[in-house]
Every structure is written in structure tokens, then in C-alpha cells.
Chains A and B, each alone.
Chain A
């Protein structure tokens, strides 16, 4: 039952969409997060608190605004992306980016303050210094990736609003679970639920492993 081809293709699509959204959020989130953490500017605290608020962005709100933008008569309507997998990627990217950004900024700020000076004192250029710091924070950054991915693969509001749960096209694990449950197809719903749980478990396993590692001296 679990290996039902339809269930498998839904799982595969979910992983593809959420994986791509997370990957995109990684580029934007890590670079913006590093910028926020490593530079001093007026209003830094306000920016950080905005990012932190963004980490808890309700997916339905994201779904609403992405829908408005992609609506046929909306500002990006000409792209004809609404009810496509790309729309879900966009919505999930919007959800995941603040999560990655927030965790990146926090993890870089948690490195010993003198680490930056030590790297500069070893002759690093500014770019080399930032790269070294990101490498130093690689474990918390992995946590950021996992948190971002975990957040988007289990979200439903935005996926159903901008994707439309179209069979074989934009039907993902969460939207399928909702639908099968409402149809009374509990066996399929349970199978989908178990897959989601398994994914959540793997993510948390990695997170726990990361958190239990000691810092070097």
C-alpha cells in the first residue's frame, strides 16, 4: 500500500518542490543572514526582529499574498504560474527564507567574538573571513536547512492555495492527506501520514545529532 505508485509519485513531487524551495531559500537566507550578523548598521535590531517574526510566517498568509501576486489580473499574472508546481516553490521559498536567514544570523552571532579577529589576524581578506565564519557555523547552518525544509514539507495552507491540489501535477503529501481523509480513504491517508512522520523523524534525528556535537576549543 505504501509503495502504491501514486503515493510514491506524490512523495517524490513533495520532496522535489520542498527541496528546491529550501535550496533557493538557502542562497538568499544565508547571504542575507550573514550580512545582518556581520555588519553594523542603524536599525539592526529592528531588522533582526522582523526576520524573527518572519520565521513564524503563517503559511495561509503567504498563500494569500502569493495568490494575489500570481492571479491572472495580478502584478505577476502574465507569468501564468498560479496552480503550477512553480507557484508552490515560490510560496514555500517565501516561508523558508526567513527561517534560514534567522538561524544563519543567530548562529554566526553565536561564534566567539574574537573568531572574526583571529581570522583577520591570520591574513584573511574580508571575503575569506566571511567564508570561514560560514564554514565554522556549518552545523547550525545545517540545522537551518533542516528547519526550513521541515517547515515547508509539512505546510499545507500555501500549497493548497497556490497549487490547487491538482492530481499528478500539484498534489503534494499534505494536500493529498487532507483530501484522502475527507474522502474517507483512511488507508491512503495513513500511508501518507506515516511518510510525513518518517520525514519529520529523519530531520529531527539530524538536528539532534548536530546539536549534540561539541564545539572545538
Chain B
């Protein structure tokens, strides 16, 4: 999985020693970032983390950065002209930024810049209007489109140029949830079938987890963690990454002693959670429990299985997320579980209902440890 094992011929884009300093503050500081051909890399992180600056730098949309960007091994601006590079990539912004003309002419604009002949423009535009489900809007004025339609037009305009790298700068951020959901779904399909190398900045963790091959977590202009979605979810480097990648259940507690079979017992809001990782008594620890490792049941008899942690839980909220359902629980501490649609039906889950939530001691990860303040 690691980028290091891949042969360099696979690397389409490399950024080296990229630094952007504005008004004395370093807003971007990347020592090295390599992007593989065909992969979808998501940049996530809080506002001001440098996601947009990174995208605009590697897309060469501004000149105020130090360091170099290599496209297929050639340094852009040195042995590869910036203008040639820009014709091989495309970027979609948070705002659709459509031109004041018809949908068709908008989608055709990138091809016109490239001097593509009329017949090819017609074919490629039609193809992409079809692809994004906006063929019926072809002759409509861009001024009359809804937010979702406008962003589809903007995406079609970028795809029409057949970019070798597609940069997405939070293209769905200003859309309402159902529209965003529909568009994410369509984009996922299109990215899969077109195999377009994509670097996407996003706030939406679910979108990142869903679309990406790898995720880069950014903070203060730096990439703090880079890995597959499951690497980030299961082994977040710190508490901040953990809470951001959406590992919803992040709990702080104190180690109170040993449990049966060599486990350690951590007290969280008065409840005891058993952990297999070696700990020290009196330590304050931060625990993470992946939602997919939480099991919900009607009447759970814990003693008969290897599962050591079980709690009576009240369901506070149920959110359907396509293939699975996210359930928020109150066990005295907050807990999140992912379950399938099927088990939702068998268990007849509803909000306010009481269930038993359980997870193995091995499913609990310790993501931070510190000496207790009492010591």
C-alpha cells in the first residue's frame, strides 16, 4: 500500500520542498508529496490548514511558492512549460464560476482554449453533459441553474478537457446535503470509470473516505498524516487527526486497574472499559473505538463470548449513510456504531430505544497517553 514501494514511473505528480510564506507566516510547508497515476488523493483538515494553497501551488495557479512541482518527472516552469502543464490538468472550485453563457458553451470553453475543432467539441461536450446528467440543460443559460446543476456543469467543463490530473477544491461544500450526496455518488462512479488522477480538498470526511485511495491530513500548512482511509481511521497519529477523520468515538479516561485475563480497565464517565494494550495504573488515556467494531443487540449475554465490553445504551440518533447506518448511542459516554440496513430491521432500531452495545477489548485503541494530573 505504501507509496514507497511503487515504481517512480507510476508517479504523475511530485511536489518537493513546497513552501508558501505570506506576511511572515508559513502557510504551506510540504517536504515531499507524490501522487500516483490514477489515484484519488483527498486533502482533509481544518480551515486554514493549507489545502487550497497546496492545490493552487501544485496546479501552478500562483507563483508565490518556493520549491518545485514535477509533472511526470519534469520540473514545471523549468523543463516543462507552465502553459502546457495547465492544459493537461483542470480544477474545479467551490463556486461553480460559470461563464455568462449557455451550459453547452460553458462545458466547451476549455476545449475552445485548446483550439479543438468544432466536431470534436460537439462530441466531447455532449458526452460529458450526458455523463453528469445535464444533457437536458444544454441550451439553458448558466444564470438560471440551481446550485447542483451549476456544479455539475462546472465538473463537466473540467472533465471535457480530459485532464490528466483533476484538482477539486471543495466542489460540494456549498451544496445542500441531498444534492451533495447525489453529486458525490455520481462523481465516485465517474472517477472510477475514467481512472482520472484526482487531488481533492474537502471538509467532508465521509466524502473523503468514500472517494479516496489515500488521504492526507493537513494542519498548519503541513501534512500530518498520509495513508489509506483505513490507516487514518484505524491508526490516527494523534487525537486531533482521530477526531477529525471522524472517528466519532474518542474517549478520555483513567486507568483504574487490571481486569480478568490480563486486560486493563479504564474508567470513562464512571463506566469501565477493558483494553488489551499495556497501560499503567493512574494514567490518563485517550481511547478510540471504531464504529464498525461496535455490535448492537437486543439481549446480550456477554459472559458467554470473548467480548468484554458491553453496555446498556440508549439510541440518540440514527443517520442512514447509504450502504450502512450510523447510530449514535448514549452508554453514559457517547458511542457511535455502524450497522447494516439488515440488522437495523432485525433489531427494529429506533431512536430512544434501549439496546446492548458491545465491543471487544482488542477493538479499543489507545491513541494518546499521559501521566495523570494527580501524580
Contacts and interface: CB of A to CB of B under 8 A. Distances in A.
Contacts of B141: 216
A121 B99 contact: no
Interface string B108-138: 0110011000000000000000000000000
Nearest to A128: B113
B161 A123 contact: yes
A123 B157 CA distance: 11
Interface stretch (A4-12, A45-53, A79-87, A112-120): A112-120
Nearest to B143: A216
B114 A136 contact: no
Interface string B263-299: 0000000000000000000000000000000000000
A113 to B, nearest CB: 10
B87 A112 contact: no
Given A216-B141, A216-B143, A118 B93 contact: yes
A217 interface: yes
B75 interface: no
Contacts of A121: 59, 61, 86, 89-91, 167
A121 B113 CA distance: 11
Contact of A217 (B62, B95, B109): B95
Contacts of A132: 99, 109
B192 interface: no
B59 A123 contact: no
Contact of A215 (B62, B86, B110, B143): B143
Given A118-B91, A136-B100, A123 B61 contact: no
Interface residues of A, number: 22
Q: Secondary structure at chain B's binding surface: helix, strand, loop or mixed?
A: mixed
Interface string B185-216: 00000000000000000000000000000000
B97 A112 contact: yes
B256 interface: no
B158 interface: yes
A123 B91 contact: no
Contacts of A115: 97
A117 B158 CA distance: 13
Interface string B33-63: 0000000000000000000000010010110
B93 A120 contact: no
A128 B89 CA distance: 17
B246 to A, nearest CB: 28
Contacts of B113: 122-125, 128
B375 interface: no
Contacts of B56: 117
Contacts of A112: 95, 97
Interface string A52-74: 00000000000000000000000
A122 B150 CA distance: 16
Contacts of A120: 61, 86
A138 interface: yes
A76 B110 CA distance: 49
5 contacts: A117-B62, A120-B61, A122-B113, A215-B100, A217-B145
Given A125-B83, A217-B98, 7 more contacts: A114-B95, A121-B61, A121-B89, A121-B90, A121-B91, A122-B113, A123-B86
Interface of B: 56, 59, 61-62, 83, 86-87, 89-91, 93, 95-100, 109-110, 113-114, 141-143, 145, 147, 150, 157-158, 161, 167
- Ordered nearest first, which 8 A-B pairs have the shortest CB separation? A121-B91, A123-B87, A122-B110, A217-B150, A216-B142, A118-B97, A216-B143, A124-B113
